[in-house]
Structure 1
Amino acid sequence: MTLLDISRLGVTFHSASDEPPVRAVDEVSLHLDTGETLAIVGESGSGKTVTALSLLGLNPPPPLCETTGSILLDGTDLRGLDRRSWREVRGNRVAMVFQDPGTALNPLLTIGTQIMDAVRAHERMSRDQARKRAVEALTQARMPEPEKRLTQYVHELSGGMRQRAAIALAIAARPRLLIADEPTTALDAAVQAEIMTMLRSLCDDLGMGLILITHDLGVVAEQADRVAVMYAGRIVESGPTAQVLADPRMPYTQALLAATPRLDAPARTRLASIEGRPPRLSDRPPGCSFAPRCPVRTDGCESVVPPLLTVGENHAAACLFADAPRERPLRLPVTTDEPPKDAEHEGGTPLVEFDATDLRYPVRTGALRRITGHVDAVQQVSLKIEPGRTLALVGESGSGKTSLTKMLLRLETPSGGTVRYDGIDVRRPSASELRRLQREIQVVFQNPYASLDPRMTVREILAEPMRVHGLDTAEPELVRLLQDVGLDAYALDRFPSAFSGGQRQRIAIARALSLQPRLIVCDEAVSALDVSVQAQILNLLADLQAAHGMAYLFITHDLAVVRSVAHRIAVMRQGRIVEEGPADRIYETPSHPYTRELLSMAPGRTAPRLAGAESTAGTDKERSITWPK
């Protein structure tokens, strides 16, 4: 039964100045059945979130925003609702799980208070009844010890628990439609698998429809019944997930799949990236919006807007060649460049060495905050990082990865053992050694939007650390840094707000390179990026390593990304290294049960096949599909 029917939805933003209007969503038509999961994928700025916000009436009011088309939910046109009616719909019939639960949840209220308030806003019930509903929602969201969580605040929960709390808040009023916007972006493989399995079971148990907005095609392959690919505000391909991913007919869909890291690829394989940037929606090019970036475009592509052509049962694609004969499917040329050769490194001499390192955090209780115990965050860890090599550190949340890194960065003091950098005892460096540590070890953080000062221009961001260490800050040197990361001199006098997420991450990498480091710590540096931008950044890191001989400590939860960058992999669990070795061996013959468990839970683990080949997918219940190369 049809739950949601969107017909020719258009969303246009108007500026108070003389700037041209922005057509963020253009003639989008979608439908969703009860109990079905629809995935919407595409690069940042493609219109995914604006489409979702339209279903909640959260776009700016006229004249700032003009919305056209129709949105039918259970036969009711949501576009005709007034403000009071929208308040009845939000949370009650349509609910949304936002990307960052840490900011979506109120830090001043307990989890229980937030859920009970949401329920009582739509149903008349006592506080005891609302409390029971809150416990029920937390239980459905697979929250451990749900009654205990009612009295806790957001900062007291782990990342996975926060996401579960946000989901419980969304489903407490039992909505008919749930929208999940990047619900697993910053979660490790184990928690990610649990969250997605739980969302699927909620759809089955509660009869909800689920719209999943994500850039992770592995999650799409395993969880979605149907997929819609958006580019520049338009639907460019849609259809059953297995059919679209096994036989993509739009070059953009093919490019997204080619840029996705794969678990079965050889270690340190160079990724295929999409050159260029999406068009500005205020200055959309004539013809196909993807034509300027498409390697198979023709003259007609730049003058004719391709309609959605039916290419199979419920499968449509917006390409002039989408209906090419099946025996000659459209192919996207994929770069076959060999990965850059590894930089020479000192034979057997480690750059970084952890030797039987321990870290214990005190537990304080009572009114006087006395120490009543300790938490062993890191236990007897011994690791080495060689010059010019990449060590990937993987493990679930709370396994000790960040705590281990903090000791190297001198943000925590080891409780036992030693941490050495190029012969320097990191715990007790001299003044000259400390200055060397601060220059030669740099960090690229996870969130490119939070790691750059919004009040400083790119010129100031790059020059500040260089000035501290007495390096040349002349404009030619700053331009060279930007060119190393694929940016131009025009960026120097702009603020971070003028750049996309991928461009900001490039600026963060340029800042790390500005001090000519020997080691860069990449803490989930690509987890929040689209697959196309992610491929560009990973290729960039490989090129920089080959050119400058830097070592990387790469912390991530994405096992496919790890395979594309790492020489060696260390798997952490409960503060200990449970397995460590060459990347190929870890993936091909993992020896520890926990490593095998992580690999089994990684999204997109299904064996891929060539695009256009017949699918060898299992049943819908198994939710496994073939992947194109």
Structure 2
Amino acid sequence: MPLLDIKDLSVTFDAIPASPPVRAVDSVNLSLEAGETLAVVGESGSGKTVTALSLLGLNPPEPVCATTGSIRLNGEELRALDAKGWRSVRGRRVAMVFQDPSSALNPLLTIGTQITDAVRAHERMSRAEARGRAVQALEQAQMPDPESRLRQYPHELSGGMRQRAAIALAIASKPELLIADEPTTALDVAVQAEIMAMLRSLCADLGMGLILITHDLGVVAEQADRVAVMYAGRVVESGPAARVLEDPRMPYTQALLAATPRIDAAARTRLFSVEGQPPRLRERATGCSFAPRCPVAVDDCRTTVPELKVYGSDHAAACLFADAPVELPARRTAPVRGPEPAAAVPDGAAPLVEFDGVDLRYPVRGGALRRVTGQLHAVQDVSLRVEAGRTLALVGESGSGKTSLTKLLLRLEQPSGGTVRYDGIDVTRPGPAELRRLQREVQVVFQNPYASLDPRMTIRQILQEPLRVHGLESGEDVLTGLLRDVGLDSFALDRFPSAFSGGQRQRVAIARALALRPRIIVCDEAVSALDVSIQAQVLNLLADLQAAHGMAYLFITHDLAVVRSVAHRIAVMRHGRIVEEGPAEEIYAAPAHDYTRELLASAPGRHARTTADSPHSPHQERSPQWQR
């Protein structure tokens, strides 16, 4: 008997009068054995998270949301539970690590209080015993100095540390099933590898099942036993992870693999992107939902809904051509991005941004009166240059000082020492005209799209605000064009941020940053929340804007494959210092510092074999259509 058995699960939302209902999940069948990892992959809005919430009974009640089908956990039908029964399941038997740790953690309570309260809600134990369990959970989540973290609040932790605290909160009660919704999005590659190894170890030791919702196919290749690919609410391909990734039979799966940046690809290679956008579920197509975006679709694809059929051993796909799949051409033939931008400054000219011997220290407070007891050196003696028309990637673990350094350029922090200049302007003491220029020409895309968008404003108001402040055109065509650039339809303009998934919110944040056509954009994990198809579109868009306008990027990321595809130069930070800096090609070919070599060795999917490496299909004559 499987640990989890989902049969014909459908979730339909009908919250808007006089509008057709939305079938967010459509006849999904999944199963999971104890100790096994099932990866659920798909674009934003494909139904992954709604499926996961159904396992916790967290979907809205009827008539707003109707859920049908069967969900069995160790043979018990969960859909038959009442409210009290669901409370006994949530956290104790089924736990979830949500995509955004800031919204999952209570900002008014310390980390220790949240974990101990969660444990004592399900088990009878003293507060001292619960505190010991909290420390153990934080250690398992690779949290540094777990004892001291118990006394800290979520806002005192970095994004990666908050994610580790959220993971500790989920595993503290030792659940039978753990659902991890993008659990490593905010983590650097070294910690990402440690966290995933820890989750795998827990699955093996405790017999816990793991459902991993992710868009990172490198993580899927290395961590998952089986994979289910979702599109428009349906499972379109499933099977053993190695078999699905090496021999995908659904064109959508092939497209996701082709769009994934690879650490062994040529530097600044233009990424394959899936043309078009996912369908609006209120306007479901009569045939295959992927047909409008599929380059090998025929007329039958637009009139016939393909069934999910099994091919070979436990490998299922929903495609009319699944018995003779069309392979993608090798991605190594993808063209390298065009010539360097003409707007870039010549070698030896003054840089656009200059950090010169910069220090940043935060006071450390303690005791009942919260007096200053010491100082934390977030940035120590950092000197960097960002040239116009170039991309400098900042790489390093959580808490290494990357975001703190960029806050100095954005005037969100004052340096404790050294200087920060933008195009000759002292950023710490600009005049009125210089300040207005800084506000327009220096833009930022923050790591957390949930916190960077005002929940009381519509997307139209969010995009119009910077344009109106600077006296620029903010008409319908301008706003629609900005959304189109980041893969969203104009229907999003009159909706609020709460109506979108995390990846879709991040696209809105990127569109807002692009609105003023700045000279430099600080991208703080700007594409980490995006699924691979939209990630490829956005990275290609950023490269095109750089080539056309000489725009510069200060790119903070933990994804070394993304760095490979965008960066001209790389600076590796650790403990507030730059430990290595130089041209991207040189650092990838021959890293000089041990920490850089450790990061490269830890990159997920580095040794994974994808469709692009497999021999050409006998149907190769149709493959060039994928390149349009």
- The answer on 1:387 being equivalent to 2:388 is yes
Kindly tell me: are residues 293 and 358 of structure 1, through their superposed partners in 2, closer, same or farther at Cα, counting changes over 3 Å? same
Of 420-429 and 332-341, more deviation after overlay is shown by: 332-341
Which position in structure 2 is the counterpart of 1:619?
none
Alignment of 1:138-149 (within 5 A): 138-149=138-149
**Once the two structures are aligned, what percentage of the paired residues are identical?**
76
Q: In 2, distance between residues paired with 1:40 and 1:177?
A: 15
> In terms of mean alpha carbon deviation, does 373-382 or 462-471 score higher?
462-471
Q: Distance in 2 between matches of 1:488 and 1:28?
A: 27
Equivalent residue for 1:542? 543
**Cα-to-partner distance string for 1:255-301 (whole Å, 9 max, x where unaligned):** 11111111011111111111112112222101111111111111111
Partner residue, 2:264: 264
Tell me the TM-score normalised to structure 1 length.
0.90
1:531: Cα distance to partner? 1.0
Q: Deviation string for 1:116-138 (max 9, x for gaps)?
A: 33333333344444444444434
SS of alignment partner, residue 312 of structure 1: coil
Deviation at 1:84, TM superposition (A): 2.1
Give secondary structure in 2 for the equivalent of 1:536. Answer: helix
Structure-1 separation of matches of 2:498 and 2:114: 32
Residue equivalent to 1:618: none
Give the superposition deviation at 1:537. Answer: 0.7
Task: State the AA in 2 paired with 1:124.
Answer: R
On the 8 A contact 2:277/2:488 being kept in 1, the answer is: no
Residue 23 (structure 2) aligns with: 23
Instruction: Give the Cα separation in 1 of the matches to 2:150 and 2:492.
Output: 47
How far is 1:209 from its partner? 0.8
Change beyond 3 A, Cα 1:331–1:517: same
Q: Is the 8 A contact 1:140 1:202 kept in 2?
A: no
Deviation per CA, 1:496-526, whole angstroms, max 9, x where unpaired? 5666666654554444344442222112111
**What is the aligned partner in structure 2 of residue 423 from structure 1?**
424
Q: Deviations over 1:210-233 (max 9, x none)?
A: 111111111111111111111111
Counterpart of 1:2 in 2: which secondary structure?
Answer: coil
Distance 2:470 2:413 in 1: 23
Of 334, 338, 341, the match for 1:340: 338
**Corresponding residue of 2:623:** none
- Residue 70 of structure 1 and its aligned partner are, at CA, apart by 1.6
| 1:540 match: secondary structure | helix
Q: 1:521/1:304 Cα in 2 relative to 1: closer, same or farther (>3 Å)?
A: same
Q: Distance in 1 between matches of 2:2 and 2:492?
A: 48
Tell me the equivalent position of 2:442: 441
Q: Identify unmatched segments of 5+ residues in structure 2.
A: 617-626
Q: In the TM superposition, what is the alpha-carbon distance from 1:455 to its structure 2 partner?
A: 4.0
Aligned residue number for residue 526 of structure 1: 527
Q: Is the 8 A contact 2:291 2:302 kept in 1?
A: yes
Letter in 1 for 2:402: K
Alpha-carbon separation, structure 2, partners of 1:63 and 1:506:
31
Output the amino acid matched with 1:98.
F
Could you say what secondary structure the match of 2:122 adopts? coil
Show the counterpart of 1:124: 124
Give the aligned residue type for 1:255: A
Q: Give, as a single letter, the amino acid of the residue that structure 1 aligns with 2:327.
A: R
1:322-381 per-position Cα deviation (integer Å, ceiling 9, x unaligned)? 111xxxx41246794552322122212111122222222233444555444322222221
Could you say which residue in structure 1 is the equivalent of 2:77? 77
Q: 2:141 touches 2:198 (CA, 8 Å); kept in 1?
A: yes
Secondary structure, aligned partner of 2:295: coil
Moved more, 428-437 or 381-390: 428-437
Q: Which residue of 2 aligns with 1:300?
A: 300
Q: Select which of 326, 331, 335 maps to 1:330.
A: 326
The change in CA–CA distance for 1:573 and 1:27 in structure 2 (over 3 A counts) is: same
Any idea what the Cα deviations from partners look like across 1:178-229, whole Å, max 9, x if unmatched?
Answer: 1111111111112211211111111111111111111111111111111111
Secondary structure, in 3 states, of the residue corresponding to 1:219?
A: helix
SS in 1 for 2:311: strand
Equivalent position of 2:621 in the other structure: none
Separation of aligned partners in 2, 1:409 and 1:195:
32
Alpha-carbon distance between aligned partners in 1 of 2:169 and 2:572, rounded to the nearest angstrom: 34
- When the two structures are aligned, how many residues end up with a matched partner? 613
Determine if contact 2:110/2:153 at 8 Å carries over to the other structure: yes
User: Deviations along 1:151-177, whole A, 9 cap, x unmatched?
Assistant: 443334443443333233323332211
1:624 aligns with none
Distance in 2 between residues matched to 1:488 and 1:43, nearest whole Å = 15
Q: Any conservation in 2 of the 1:248–1:611 contact (CA below 8 Å)?
A: no
Query: Which residue in the other structure is 1:622 paired with?
Result: none
- 8 Å Cα contact 2:391/2:555 also seen in 1: yes
Give the match's secondary structure for 2:279: coil
Q: What secondary structure is seen at the aligned counterpart in 1 of 2:452? A: coil
Contact 1:247/1:611 (<8 A) preserved: no
Number of the residue aligned with 1:210 = 210
1:415 and 1:164 map into 2 onto residues whose CA distance is: 30
**In 2, Cα distance between equivalents of 1:119 and 1:208:** 17
Instruction: Return closer, same or farther for 1:200/1:287 CA change in 2, 3 Å cut-off.
Output: same
Letter in 2 for 1:153: Y
Partners in 2 of 1:97 and 1:511 — Cα distance?
A: 29
Whether the 8 Å contact between 2:45 and 2:501 is mirrored in structure 1 is: no
SS at match of 1:121: helix
Partner of 1:582: 583
1:340 maps to amino acid? G
Counterpart amino acid of 1:428? R
Question: Which residue does the alignment assign to 1:626?
Answer: none
Query: How do 1:172-571 residues align onto structure 2 when only pairs under 5 Å count?
Result: 172-324=172-324, 329-332=325-328, 336-344=334-342, 345-347=344-346, 348-349=348-349, 350-366=351-367, 369-457=370-458, 460-471=461-472, 504-571=505-572
* Letter of the structure 1 residue corresponding to residue 320 of structure 2: L
Report the alpha carbon displacement of residue 28 of structure 1 after superposing the two structures with TM: 1.0
Aligned mates of 1:182, 1:146 — CA distance in 2: 23
Cα-to-partner distance string for 1:518-539 (whole Å, 9 max, x where unaligned): 2221121111111111111111
**8 Å contact kept, 1:264–1:607:** no
Give the partner amino acid of 1:222: E
Residue 160 of structure 2 contacts residue 186 of structure 2 at CA under 8 Å; is this kept in 1? no
Preserved contact between residue 257 and residue 610 of structure 2 (Cα < 8 Å):
no
Is 1:35 aligned to residue 35 of structure 2? Answer: yes
Deviates more, 1:280-289 or 1:513-522: 513-522
For 1:150 and 1:557, how far apart are their aligned partners in 2?
Answer: 26
Amino acid at match of 2:326: L
Q: Which string of whole-angstrom CA distances, capped at 9 and with x for unpartnered residues, describes residues 416-454 of structure 1?
A: 222222222223333333332223222222334443334
Work out the CA distance in 2 between the residues paired with 1:65 and 1:503: 22
Q: Distance in 1 between matches of 2:485 and 2:2?
A: 51
Q: Is the 1:102–1:162 contact (alpha carbons within 8 Å) kept by the matching residues of 2?
A: yes
Alpha-carbon offset, residue 241 of structure 1: 0.8
CA distance in 2, matches of 1:517, 1:223: 39
**1:621 alignment counterpart:** none
Q: Deviations over 1:587-606 (max 9, x none)?
A: 11111111111111111111
Q: Deviations over 1:285-321 (max 9, x none)?
A: 0111111111111111111111122222111111111
Q: Which runs of 5+ in 1 are unaligned?
A: 616-628
CA distance in 2, matches of 1:114, 1:412: 30
